[in-house]
Amino acid sequence: MNHFAHMTTTSQPSVSSNSKLSSKSSQHNSLAAIPPMMSTSDQKFLDWNVGSVAEQFTLIEFALFKAVDLREVSNQAWKSEQPKKTAQNVVNIFNRFDLVSQWAATEVVMAQVQKQRVAIIEKN
């Protein structure tokens, strides 16, 4: 089941076969809205290669961190009255963290059997 099919973004990075991130998104396009790899009826989280999952997460999150400007972190600009104007890229990182956390929790609770839930949590 695709739990995040409703989420869209204006710019999505693409990862080529040699695993290089090739995104030309501007700093204000939100990579945070890109869903993490999702389970489908044909492919389950437990079947995924842990190294590949980690690599894909790293590529996406590297792009988010790389986009942050020093002005966005100085004086905690993300705490301003208009954080989307003063620290959009930091906000994107926060949003991505929330999305991945929600996805991870969803993967666990969607498992029908307790043994599967344990296996998902312990996957390494």
The range of the structural domain enclosing residue 54 comes to 44-122
Query: Residue 115 domain-assigned?
Result: yes
- Can you give the pLDDT at residue 69? 95
3 assigned to some structural domain: no
As for how many domains the chain has, the answer is: 1
- Angle 88-110/50-67 helices, nearest 10 degrees? 160
Tokens at 60, concatenated = 């996406």
39 located within any domain: no
Token pair in block for residue 111:
């498992």
Judge whether 107 lies within some domain: yes
Report, as ranges of residue numbers, the positions in the chain whose pLDDT lies below 70.
1-43, 124
In a domain, 11, yes or no: no
In a domain, 113, yes or no: yes
The answer to whether residue 30 sits within a structural domain is no
Residue 32 falls within a domain, yes or no?
Answer: no
Give the count of beta carbons closer than 10 Å to the beta carbon of residue 23.
16
Give residue 10's pLDDT: 34
pLDDT score for 44: 77
